[in-house]
Amino acid sequence: MRKIGILTGGGDCPGLNAAIRGVVYAAEKFGFSCIGILEGWKGMIEKNTMVLRKEDVAYIIFEGGTILGTSRTNPFKKEENVKKVLDNFKSLDLYALVAIGGEDTLGVATRFYEDYKMNVVGVPKTMDNDLNATDYTFGFDTAVTRAMEAAKALIDTGRSHRRVMVFEVMGRHAGWVALFTAIASASDYVCLPEKKVDPNELIKKVKDAYSRKKFALVVVSEAVEMIDEEKNLGSGEVDQFGHTILKERGVGERIAKFIEKNTGIETRHAVIGHMQRGGEPTLFDRILATRVGIKAAELVRDGDFGKMAALCGNEIKAVPLKEATGQLKLVDNKWIEIMDILF
């Protein structure tokens, strides 16, 4: 019986277990057996594995995180590790490898496929939803749901105290998490990394909202910058390469101080951080993760390697792995128009 190895790499997110389960269920149906590779590519280097049968994964769909563990280990950083991965692929008697992860994990998978003809199939995941070549990746819906729940608490306390609340959420390059959190939480303004914050507009929007209801909520992506950052957020010093060095404080805190200073209204901030990464996956993520997991097993069955299983519209399609990596998917005009209406 042909054997499939499954690994999860990079930052964890809810839905990884559902995807693992999807691969295993479909693989067994198609006559393969599965083993789990522990802690991402590190497990391929160290030959660290676990048994993965249908009965082992039946109920993991309910759990956040990944039962396989994860790491950011990249075998291509050390020549010898590439060899170890290739050797272990053989000594584990693997027919194919299903790599579940984000840009980095799939980038490694791409190289093993392209340079070493390894039978690799990818399953994309991101919390930030910024992977190109797929409409949505699992993990995102749950992460924003967690933020939406936290935002509700901030609204309750903010309205009671007649305060402005600034809520910093994840999203290093793309503002999807901030945007969806802001829409779903009736936020009054949202700051995305795609566009420098205009301090005048920010202050105007906060004042308008506050004058109407003695409360305002501002959702801020962790990587947001402001026009005249230095002057406004005091986060200034510039290093020898001309790059601005961000101060230790998070941008949510700095924006909260900026608002308080420029409006005179008591302002508080909160940072969701790692609390956004876990907990029960939502329905959407369970279904999507199950579907892409199943699709990955189908690609293995069909010998269609070097591809990943991506959601396009309402279909799961096979997309070349290298299309996934490279370019980021940013908040586009369609959504900017919606922002103009809502915020």
Q: Which one from 128, 130, 141, 188 is the annotated catalytic residue?
A: 128
CB of 80 to a copy of itself, least distance (A): 23
Distance CA 255, CA 220 (A): 9
| Catalytic-residue membership of 128 | yes
Residue 232 neighbours by CB distance under 10 Å: 18
CB of 271 to a copy of itself, least distance (A): 7
In 44-88 the beta strands, taken as DSSP E runs, fall at 49-51
CB of 141 to a copy of itself, least distance (A): 6
CB of 230 within 8 A of CB of 246? no
Please, which residue, 162 or 231, has the CB nearer to a copy of itself? 162
CA dihedral (253, 258, 259, 261) positive or negative: positive
User: Which stretch of DSSP H or E encloses residue 25?
Assistant: helix 16-29
Nearest of 20, 18, 30, 17 to residue 98 by alpha carbon: 20
CA 213, chain centre distance (Å): 34
CB of 222 to a copy of itself, least distance (A): 13
Distance CA 90, CA 142 (A): 37
Please, which residue, 177 or 191, has the CB nearer to a copy of itself? 177
CB of 321 to a copy of itself, least distance (A): 21
Nearest of 43, 58, 54 to residue 94 by alpha carbon: 43
In the chain the beta strands, taken as DSSP E runs, fall at 3-8, 33-37, 49-51, 96-101, 120-124, 164-169, 189-191, 216-221, 267-271, 307-312, 315-320
Please, which residue, 118 or 319, has the CB nearer to a copy of itself? 319
Positions marked active-site: 128
